[in-house]
Amino acid sequence: MEARAAANHRIARITSHLQPPNFKDGGDVLVERAECRAKGGAPGFKVAILGAAGGIGQSLSLLMKINPLVSVLHLYDVVNTPGVTADVSHMDTGAVVRGFLGQPQLEGALTGMDLVIIPAGVPRKPGMTRDDLFKINAGIVKTLCEGIAKFCPNAIVNLISNPVNSTVAISAEVFKKAGTYDPKRLLGVTTLDVVRANTFVAEVLGVDPREVDVPVVGGHAGVTILPLLSQVKPPSSFTAEEVEYLTNRIQNGGTEVVEAKAGAGSATLSMAYAAAKFADACLRGLKGEAGVVECSFVQSQVTELPFFATKVRLGRGGAEEVFQLGPLNEYERIGLEKAKQELAESIQKGIDFIRK
């Protein structure tokens, strides 16, 4: 009772100054309460979103705020986090939300986090490839990962910023340099490719997309996105025309959205959904749930490349098991060779950015 009175006193003091509570020590009171709740009830994880005020970041903040596995949600960006934080923090769900603005507040945003999700960086406009974003996004990802290495080296990292085929390699190099690299904890987010594949395949089959599971392997750009239609669940067969149509549509799903948005950015809503789905899987793994399997772009020995997306089993340590490709048909074997060629260059570009 006394603790509650003290907490209320502090909140009253802060609100009387009309300060957003999450930017002052009132946030600490709320976080303490969340931690108490977490101790007494369901376990809660601490999650940070870097780039939280962006197109993906805002919707993702909303979706993580309604995830019952999250007890504390840190929203970091270089602009506009006070508004996004005030807005999201009014939702009557369990997670306590705190906002952090700009580089000087990166330490506060990251300290103590279990999971860090990174959608920071510029999106494509029509006519651009994901690789065209490298120039700007490589530096952003480098800076943020240097912060992670310093302030929450044991956190699981979900990397969304494009080009994912290069930014994952950049992050790995930053962590290696800092001596904190654990390949199991660095995961490139390719869930949107799977989400799209499930949707498009379900349309062709005339079934509910929730009943469909399409493994998508390789990477996250053009021909490096390789849907394995021969392994679709439930087992299904496709005509050669259907395979061609589905493969092209899945590989170009991002471009389809970029063109439809006509200069206003790339996929944000479906991406936030995909990122929330993947983050939830990571949190369920962290909690110790068995059999959590998702596709992700991770350090891998499945091919000769250092990173590759396949199904991985998520556990307390992150990507605890990286699954093999399984049997491929001729069409997929040809696709795999093309994917590997482009991937090799993108990965090397990321490595060189840090080493050179």
Ligand X SMILES: NC(=O)C1=CN([C@@H]2O[C@H](COP(=O)(O)OP(=O)(O)OC[C@H]3O[C@@H](n4cnc5c(N)ncnc54)[C@H](O)[C@@H]3O)[C@@H](O)[C@H]2O)C=CC1
Residue list, annotated binding site for substrate:
124, 130, 162, 196
CA atoms of 331 and 108, how far apart (whole Å): 49
- Which residue type is seen at 273? Y
CB of 220 to ligand X, least distance (A): 5
CB of 55 to ligand X, least distance (A): 3
CB of 159 to ligand OAA, least distance (A): 12
Q: Is 74 a residue of the active site?
A: no
| Tokens 């999971």 sit on residue | 115
Q: Is 267 in the site for ligand X (CB under 6 A)?
A: yes
Q: Which amino acid is at 137?
A: N
In the bound complex, what is the minimum distance in angstroms from residue 348's beta carbon to ligand OAA?
Answer: 20
Cβ-based burial of 1 (10 A; exposed 0-12, middle 13-18, buried ≥19): exposed
Told to check if 123 binds ligand X by CB under 6 A, we report: yes
Q: Binding partner of residue 257 among ligand OAA, ligand X, none, CB under 5 to 8 Å per kind?
A: ligand OAA
Contact partners, residue 279, CB within 8 Å, separation at least 6: 47, 64, 67, 115, 117, 158
Q: Which does 258 bind (CB under 5 to 8 A by kind): ligand OAA, ligand X, none?
A: ligand OAA
Closest-approach residue to ligand X (CB): 54
CA–CA separation, 7 vs 30, rounded Å? 8
Reduced to 3 states (helix: H, G, I; strand: E, B; else coil), residue 14 is: helix
Residue 250 interacts with ligand X (CB under 6 A)?
no
Binder among 137, 162, 167, 230 for ligand OAA (CB under 6 A): 162
CA-to-CA separations, 351 to 51, 167, 172, 246, 345, in angstroms, rounded: 23, 9, 8, 32, 10
User: Which residues are part of a known binding site?
Assistant: 51-57, 77, 124, 130, 137, 160-162, 196, 271
DSSP SS3 for 346: helix
- The answer to whether 266 contacts ligand OAA (rule: CB under 6 A) is yes
Q: Shortest gap between Cβ of 16 and ligand X (angstroms)?
A: 31
| Contact in structure between 346 and 131 (CB atoms under 8 Å) | yes
> Three-class SS of residue 250?
helix
- Single-letter amino acid, residue 293: V
Q: What is the DSSP string of 209-237?
A: GGG-B--EEE-SSGGGEEE-GGG-BS---
**121 contact, one of ligand OAA, ligand X, none, CB 5-8 Å limit per kind:** ligand X
Of 137-145, 242-250, 280-288, 315-323, which segment contacts ligand X by CB under 6 A? 137-145
With respect to ligand OAA, which residue has the nearer C-beta, 110 or 214?
214
Contacts of ligand OAA in 109-128 (CB under 6 A): 123-124
Residues from 17 through 56 that contact ligand X (CB under 6 A) = 50-51, 53-56
Q: Which residues pair with 310 in a beta bridge?
A: 296
- Beta strand 307-315 with 318-322 is antiparallel
Does residue number 251 form part of the binding site for ligand OAA (CB under 6 A)?
Answer: no
Interaction site with ligand OAA (CB under 6 A): 123-124, 130, 162, 192, 253-255, 257-258, 266-267
> Which sequence positions are flagged as catalytic?
220
Interaction site with ligand X (CB under 6 A): 50-51, 53-57, 77-79, 119-124, 133, 137, 140, 143-144, 160-162, 164, 189, 192, 220, 265-268, 271
